[in-house]
Structure 1
Amino acid sequence: MSESDDQVASVPASPKPPSASYLSSPAISAPPSQLQSPSLSRSPFFQTPQHPRTTTKTITRHEKTYSHTPQVFSAPVSQLHSPSLSRSPFLGTPDHPVTMPASGARTPLGYIRSRNLTPKFLTPLASPLRKALRLTKLDPHDAWLPITESRNGNAFYAAFHTLCSGIGFEALILPVAFIFLGWAWGIISLVCAFIWQFYTLFLLINLHESTETGIRYSRYMQLANAAFGERLGNFLTKFPIMYLSVGTCIALIITGGTTSRVFFQIVCDSSCKADTLTATEWYLVFTCAIVLLSQLPNMNSIAGISLVGALTAVGYCTTIWIASVAEDRLSNVSYDPIKAKSHVSKVFNNFNALGIVVFAFKGHNLILEIQATMPSNEKHPSTIPMWKGVKASYTLIAMCVFPISIGGFWAYGNLIPSTGMLTALLAFHAQDLSKSIKGLACMLVIINSLTSFQIYAMPTFDEMESIYVVRYKKPCPWWLRVVIRSSFGFVSFLFAVAFPFLDAVAGLVGGIVLPVTLAYPCFMWLKIKKPQVYSLEWLLNWGLGVFGMGLSVLVVIGGLYSIIDTGVDLKFFKPQ
């Protein structure tokens, strides 16, 4: 037998390890296009195996050892630069060494066919997963800021936050708009405003993530700066956004403090000998509770608080309108629009009423912040759970807003006070309703004001903490966070005491924030998405954006005119 012909090393059987000569087969080198593959160094086909694959045959006191050096085998071209290259079965490292069978194919290609290592899918070069990698581009400071510190939100969290921020004490003032608009125009304006703001919500949710630049716009002002430029974006949005955040927090202290005083008077009536606190002292008590609750670190940590706020908002809206309708309407009620002194007064009063309607649909300044609390990738983008949560929450908002507007105006007509439904309920049915119903309504309003403050203050907390984070390149220490949030709470208390009439200028506030809700999202969609010129999408967004800006100017003028004409009692530092 000629051992040179088959390249077999024959050695006598002995305890000593055999000295084998190995077959040397020509290496098949990887093509140049594969040399930069991220997982090339981990591929078993490019490494020397830890255990040589051998086949041993015993022939008359001799051992013949067949040893094979595997050929270098490259990954398919379609898998180059794939994000899932390291998880491909071609390039995965086996859990245990594989021994070549005594018979069968001994070539690498034959071995691969026998093991059926073909992956279930081959990722093409132009895969959308390459865009998914770009979606992970985040601001390095985001992990240290309260809005984006936690990104484990879901559709339920989105529904809780959206419902808590989308409905509040402003809904109680909606029937006041019907005094000027009447039945027909009141319902038409309410329906149109609801549909319009729901459409702009859809635009904002779909603008949150950019598949082109790979950036998540986690704040409303970030999206505005990307669409309009930093200078114009700050000019257009900074004041309305901060006004919505800070102004709503001040109004919540006014509402919560005033309602706390009323609740105490209902529960502890004339039979109680305890001395009541002044309005300022009730404001301070409510502020202390707010400051204590505001120490929760980030947006996701207040999801339970937002759930309580959402339930209490639905609860007091439902309780107040059902109690008002159940007691039947007043005997001398009238539904005719209030007659103005002149035609000009009538026009501006109508615009002021539209501002009240728009102000009831707030919360757009928090939509991107809420969506930023969710994880996102190409397979599971944050748009899907966010849109589910928004649809669920706004279904409940519609079930609260429309009944309280229509039912409240039906029950009180033109006699409804400017402060809203709760005041009307306590004023006209103080003797008819039981103490438990009145106390329940007040308690729900107090809890809702306490919980809503947290989500509306979060953008301000985020902005204040970002100053420290950007400057020192590290997260805020816990003691500084406590100081920042406590300071904001007590400064808001001072403004609430100084300007206790903010709830009486709802029309003016609605005109100021109207572009944030109805106009700017349309312009940002046109700027970023760039729809085809003169298409239906292009015409719709241009029309809504221009009409929204014009309406904002008219509503602001109407709000100012209404304040001057009706003589709102501006009592500074005199909370009632």
Structure 2
Amino acid sequence: MKRRVLYIVCVEEREKKKKMARGEVQMDEEGGRRERLEEWLPITSSRTAKWWYSAFHNVTAMVGAGVLSLPYAMSELGWGPGVTMLVLSWIVTLYTLWQMVEMHEMVPGKRFDRYHELGQHAFGKKLGLYIIVPQQLTVEVGTCIVYMVTGGKSLKKFQESVFPNSPPIKTTYFIMIFASVNFVLSHLPNFNSISIVSLAAAVMSLCYSTIAWGASIKKGVQEDVSYAPISKTTPGNVFHFFSALGDVAFAFAGHNVVLEIQATIPSTPEKPSKKPMWKGVIVAYIVVALCYLPVAVVGYYIFGNKIQDNILLSLEKPNWLIATANMFVVVHVIGGYQIYAMPVFDMLESWLVLKMKFNPSSTLRFITRTTYVGITMFIGMTLPFFGGLLGFFGGFALAPTSYYIPCIIWLIIYKPKRYGLSWCANWFCIIFGVCLMILAPIGALRQIILQAKTYTFYS
């Protein structure tokens, strides 16, 4: 018996030495390390989500507080181009979102849990990272900063509506109050753990959108309403038009987190994740349409070219309703911040463990996430006109990631028949997205210049 055991041990040692010579042991150890890391990272640690998780995560990611500026965008575009741009963006981004859901598991036995993994499969390991990661991070980090500013300003509007005679308080302090909530919520471990927050945010987005167009109808069409162009000069109207293109295009940013959301849904060969994911996406896009179109069309119809860049400011009264709507905005952007921060946390924690050789631990997670929230808070307080910056940089990042990179990946991998329906549809989306990428930042750059002239730090 002892000889037999000794013989087995010797055989195992010889096999181990052979594997070491071939580098297989190191590969096994790396594979095991990667597998343990996946079980710890926020995107892949829990795969128990239901289809309705997909629905409200996508609503929270898609419907930002920017919906309240859509009537102003309509006033810059005019009736025809405005409605066309809204409907066309809705159709194009729904199509590209469907492509991403389909490509999540296009390789049998493998899931592309992150946008950059899909990019690496299409463009190559290094080039895929260089193409996707900078653009995705620009959108996600930029959106987090904008939500810091939006949350702080909405809290300030709430305070001014409820206590109109109170002494003025700096926006900076309200941004810090908003950030304090995110300091706490950012330590929830994964996507599924923020489901309740995301559900509340999705409900709030529908609520404040309904308040916006419902209160507008109640107010009635203004006596001096006009639908003429805002600016009296041709160059001014052109810049307004470009800026509005960006406002509408940037309303559809959910593609930057869609694969990460789908990664939380369980999948088997018999029941692939794309079925529940697509069901959730359809519900989400119906909600998006119910939020975007009525607010944009009704707001512009009621106020015309005198609409303010936030429709709630144009409504003014009743105070209690405006205060309620602003608090709904605050709850929504809290959830939106968490949705866009989670993929960033995943990238940071993965890089720190794999490249910097830190051990995955709660301490590492606490320091990483607290630092990230602190940085976005500081930038938000320093540059509260960051929406213009996001429009400028996001034109190079959001339009590609939402409008045409999915189409390019689809053409590379599936190679549809030239001049066929799929080929033509993808090339139309690519041309449309490239035009947005070029034109939208032009208007945003002018907006930054105008705002920077009168800006005072930490006002």
Normalised to the residue count of structure 1, the TM-score between the two structures is: 0.70
> Which residue is equivalent to 2:18?
none
Alignment map for 1:453-468 (pairs within 5 Å): 453-468=337-352
Unpaired runs of 5+ residues, structure 2, are 1-31
Q: Distance in 1 between matches of 2:244 and 2:147?
A: 21
- How far residue 517 of structure 1 moved from its aligned partner, in angstroms, is 0.7
Q: Kindly indicate whether residue 141 of structure 2 is the aligned counterpart of residue 246 of structure 1.
A: yes
- How far residue 416 of structure 1 moved from its aligned partner, in angstroms, is 1.7
Cα 1:469–1:365, aligned 2, differ >3 Å: closer, same or farther? same
Alignment map for 1:479-558 (pairs within 5 Å): 479-504=363-388, 507-508=391-392, 511-512=395-396, 513-558=398-443
Alignment map for 1:161-560 (pairs within 5 Å): 161-212=57-108, 214-270=109-165, 277-342=169-234, 344-418=235-309, 420-425=310-315, 429-430=316-317, 433=318, 435-471=319-355, 476-504=360-388, 507-508=391-392, 511-512=395-396, 513-560=398-445
Amino acid at match of 1:494: F
Rg larger in structure: 1
Q: Distance in 2 between matches of 1:375 and 1:520?
A: 26
- How far residue 218 of structure 1 moved from its aligned partner, in angstroms, is 0.8
- Whether the 8 Å CA contact 2:152–2:171 is kept in 1: the answer is yes
Cα 1:475–1:174, aligned 2, differ >3 Å: closer, same or farther? farther
Q: Distance in 2 between matches of 1:529 and 1:475?
A: 39
Unpaired runs of 5+ residues, structure 1, are 1-136
Cα 1:340–1:548, aligned 2, differ >3 Å: closer, same or farther? farther
- CA deviations on 1:129-168 (whole Å, 9 max, x unpaired) are xxxxxxxx99623212111110111101111111111101
Secondary structure (helix, strand or coil) at the match of 1:162 reads: helix
- Whether the 8 Å CA contact 2:404–2:434 is kept in 1: the answer is yes
- Calculate the aligned-residue CA RMSD, in Å: 2.2
- How far residue 560 of structure 1 moved from its aligned partner, in angstroms, is 2.5
- How far residue 375 of structure 1 moved from its aligned partner, in angstroms, is 1.1
Moved more, 226-235 or 520-529: 226-235
Q: Distance in 2 between matches of 1:404 and 1:510?
A: 23
Amino acid at match of 1:551: L
Q: Distance in 2 between matches of 1:169 and 1:147?
A: 25
> Which residue is equivalent to 1:87?
none
- How far residue 509 of structure 1 moved from its aligned partner, in angstroms, is 5.1
Cα 1:242–1:572, aligned 2, differ >3 Å: closer, same or farther? farther
Amino acid at match of 2:457: K
Secondary structure (helix, strand or coil) at the match of 2:136 reads: helix
- Whether the 8 Å CA contact 2:59–2:285 is kept in 1: the answer is yes
- Whether the 8 Å CA contact 2:246–2:436 is kept in 1: the answer is no
Q: Distance in 1 between matches of 2:389 and 2:355?
A: 38
Q: Distance in 2 between matches of 1:253 and 1:525?
A: 35
Q: Structure 1 or 2: larger helix share? A: 2
Amino acid at match of 2:313: T
Secondary structure (helix, strand or coil) at the match of 1:150 reads: coil
> Which residue is equivalent to 2:52?
156
- Whether the 8 Å CA contact 2:245–2:436 is kept in 1: the answer is no
Secondary structure (helix, strand or coil) at the match of 2:48 reads: coil
Q: Distance in 2 between matches of 1:384 and 1:158?
A: 11
Cα 1:508–1:413, aligned 2, differ >3 Å: closer, same or farther? farther
Q: Distance in 2 between matches of 1:568 and 1:504?
A: 9
Cα 1:403–1:506, aligned 2, differ >3 Å: closer, same or farther? farther
- Whether the 8 Å CA contact 2:388–2:445 is kept in 1: the answer is no
Cα 1:549–1:235, aligned 2, differ >3 Å: closer, same or farther? farther
Q: Distance in 2 between matches of 1:154 and 1:473?
A: 34
Q: Distance in 1 between matches of 2:63 and 2:33?
A: 31
Amino acid at match of 2:294: P
Normalised to the residue count of structure 2, the TM-score between the two structures is: 0.87
Q: Distance in 2 between matches of 1:553 and 1:315?
A: 34
Amino acid at match of 2:105: E
Q: Distance in 1 between matches of 2:353 and 2:270?
A: 32
Q: Distance in 2 between matches of 1:171 and 1:310?
A: 13
- Whether the 8 Å CA contact 2:139–2:394 is kept in 1: the answer is no
- How far residue 570 of structure 1 moved from its aligned partner, in angstroms, is 5.3
> Which residue is equivalent to 1:574?
457
Alignment map for 1:76-91 (pairs within 5 Å): none
- How far residue 494 of structure 1 moved from its aligned partner, in angstroms, is 0.7
Secondary structure (helix, strand or coil) at the match of 2:364 reads: helix
Secondary structure (helix, strand or coil) at the match of 1:392 reads: helix
Q: Distance in 2 between matches of 1:542 and 1:464?
A: 34
- How far residue 407 of structure 1 moved from its aligned partner, in angstroms, is 1.0
Q: Distance in 2 between matches of 1:279 and 1:160?
A: 30
- Whether the 8 Å CA contact 2:229–2:237 is kept in 1: the answer is no
> Which residue is equivalent to 2:3?
none
- Whether the 8 Å CA contact 2:403–2:429 is kept in 1: the answer is yes
Q: Distance in 2 between matches of 1:375 and 1:139?
A: 19
Cα 1:238–1:474, aligned 2, differ >3 Å: closer, same or farther? closer
Amino acid at match of 2:348: M
- How far residue 508 of structure 1 moved from its aligned partner, in angstroms, is 3.0
**Relative contact order: is structure 1 or structure 2 higher (C-alpha 8 Å, sep ≥ 6)?**
2
Q: Distance in 1 between matches of 2:128 and 2:458?
A: 36
Q: Distance in 2 between matches of 1:468 and 1:239?
A: 17
- Whether the 8 Å CA contact 1:171–1:401 is kept in 2: the answer is yes
Secondary structure (helix, strand or coil) at the match of 2:78 reads: helix
Q: Distance in 1 between matches of 2:347 and 2:412?
A: 25
- How far residue 474 of structure 1 moved from its aligned partner, in angstroms, is 7.9
* Alignment: residue pair count: 426
- How far residue 237 of structure 1 moved from its aligned partner, in angstroms, is 2.4
- How far residue 445 of structure 1 moved from its aligned partner, in angstroms, is 1.0
Secondary structure (helix, strand or coil) at the match of 1:296 reads: coil
Q: Distance in 2 between matches of 1:204 and 1:138?
A: 28
- CA deviations on 1:296-348 (whole Å, 9 max, x unpaired) are 10011111110000001111111122112211132222111234523x55444
- Whether the 8 Å CA contact 1:354–1:507 is kept in 2: the answer is no
Q: Distance in 2 between matches of 1:321 and 1:504?
A: 25
Cα 1:162–1:476, aligned 2, differ >3 Å: closer, same or farther? same
Q: Distance in 1 between matches of 2:381 and 2:400?
A: 29
- CA deviations on 1:407-462 (whole Å, 9 max, x unpaired) are 111122111223x212222xxx34xx1x3212211111111122211111101111
- Whether the 8 Å CA contact 2:388–2:444 is kept in 1: the answer is no
- CA deviations on 1:78-116 (whole Å, 9 max, x unpaired) are xxxxxxxxxxxxxxxxxxxxxxxxxxxxxxxxxxxxxxx
Q: Distance in 2 between matches of 1:265 and 1:340?
A: 34
